Amino acid sequence: MSVIEVGFIIQRPPYKSETSTLGVTHAISYQVVDMLLEEGQGVTPKVCFIGEGVLNCISGQKAMENYGVTSIESHIKNALLVDLDLYVCKEDLERFGISEDRLIDAEDMGADKKLQVVPFSEIQKILNNSKHLLVF
Amino acid sequence: MGTLTIGCFASLVGSKSLDFSLKLAKAALDKGHKVNIWLSSNATIMAKANQKHLKDYSHSEKYVRELLERGVEICECEACALARGIQKAETVEGVEWSAMHWYLAKIYNSDRVVHIGGE
């Protein structure tokens, strides 16, 4: 009986497809996975935004206004609210010229967690420690 | 023998990803492994009943029925299916309906996971 880490790699840009949304929502579902597991078992998602996936992390998304759907920003805020660890690749942010002050923050919702900007070498370590990897 | 969980997110028509998923599941079964299949996003069409087999298009119903008969657990993402107008009564009998935590729970108990993403 143990808790396993599952790496979620989100590399697709937002809204081009539903892929990145599904990555975040699948990760959030860890909250209720224990309903289907034995006592003491669990899944800890480690969500890593890399490549074009870092574009999902920009704040101020207007998905409801433009598409009538919940924004990825809302999903990411919910993920932070339920204490998920979300990592954003520092090098890819720099490649796109995105400064850290433009990233989503869920402090207004009372979340303790924040998006963690880390070098890719750190993301590699996180993924190496994951039992399984899911690429979105 | 091990347990393989396949997460399917691609569409049945328009790519060969689901054809590959079905063949992979059968190959794993033939080798004696246990197989679970999670259908999410556009892959929810894979378990729909009453598919017409037109030779120019991929079809999955026959293979889904065969896999179910051989003990494969196949589960649809309920929200993904309903969003696409697919009702539970329209899916192949034996296919489960649940939410995303089903996939995570199967992953927990799997030796290998093959996640076949969509576009």
A17: CATH: 3.40.1260.10
The tally of domains found in chain A comes to 1
Is B104 in Cβ contact with A33 (below 8 Å)? yes
Answer whether residue A1 shows pLDDT above 90. no
Alpha carbons A32 and B102: distance in angstroms, whole number: 9
What are the angstrom distances between the C-alpha of A102 and each of A40, A67, B7, B85? 38, 22, 33, 37
- Is B65 exposed, middle or buried, given 0-12, 13-18 or 19+ CB atoms closer than 10 A? middle
pLDDT classification of A17: cutoffs 50, 70, 90: very high
Cα Rg for chain B, rounded, in angstroms? 13
| Best mutation target, A9, A18, A32, A131, to test chain B (most B CBs within 10 A) | A18
Residue B115's pLDDT is what? 96
What value does the mean pLDDT of chain A take? 97
Chain B residues with CB-CB distance to A26 below 8 A: 40, 100, 103-104
What are the angstrom distances between the C-alpha of B6 and each of A65, A86, B26, B60? 35, 24, 12, 15
pLDDT classification of B118: cutoffs 50, 70, 90: confident
Closest partner residue to B103 (CB to CB) among A26, A35, A133 is A26
Is B99 in Cβ contact with A37 (below 8 Å)? no
Alpha carbons A93 and A54: distance in angstroms, whole number: 6
Tens-place pLDDT, residues B43-71: 999 999 999 999 999 999 999 999 999 99
Is B100 in Cβ contact with A36 (below 8 Å)? no
* Domain ranges, residue A46: 2-135
| Best mutation target, B73, B108, B116, to test chain A (most A CBs within 10 A) | B108
Is the pTM of the predicted complex or chain greater than 0.90? yes
Residue A22 near chain B (CB below 8 Å): yes
Closest-approach residue (CA) in chain B for A136: B117
Residue A49 near chain B (CB below 8 Å): no
> Cβ(B36)–Cβ(B7) under 8 Å?
no
Secondary structure of residue A91 in the 3-state scheme: helix
Is B99 in Cβ contact with A43 (below 8 Å)? no
Closest partner residue to A26 (CB to CB) among B100, B108, B113 is B100
Closest-approach residue (CA) in chain B for A24: B100
> Cβ(A14)–Cβ(A56) under 8 Å?
yes
Query: What is the count of residue pairs from A and B with beta carbons less than 8 Å apart?
Result: 60
pLDDT classification of A134: cutoffs 50, 70, 90: very high
For B37, the enclosing helix (H) or strand (E) is: strand B34-39
Answer whether residue A16 shows pLDDT above 80. yes
Closest partner residue to B104 (CB to CB) among A22, A30, A133 is A30
Residue A122's pLDDT is what? 98
How much of chain A exceeds pLDDT 90, in percent? 99
Tens-place pLDDT, residues B65-117: 999 999 999 999 999 999 999 999 999 999 999 999 999 999 999 999 999 98
Residue B119's pLDDT is what? 76
> Cβ(B106)–Cβ(B5) under 8 Å?
yes
CATH fold of the domain at B3-117: Hypothetical Protein Ychn; Chain: A, (3.40.1260)
Listed residue (A93, A83, A6, A27) closest to A56, CA to CA: A93
Alpha carbons B46 and A20: distance in angstroms, whole number: 21
Is B117 in Cβ contact with A136 (below 8 Å)? yes
Domain ranges within chain B, ordered by starting residue:
3-117
Determine the average pLDDT of the residues in B7-11: 96
Residue B14's pLDDT is what? 86
Report the first-to-last Cα separation within chain A, whole angstroms. 28
Chain B residues with CB-CB distance to A8 below 8 A: none
Tens-place pLDDT, residues A21-61: 999 999 999 999 999 999 999 999 999 999 999 999 999 99
* Helix axis angle, A72-81 to A19-28, nearest 10°: 20
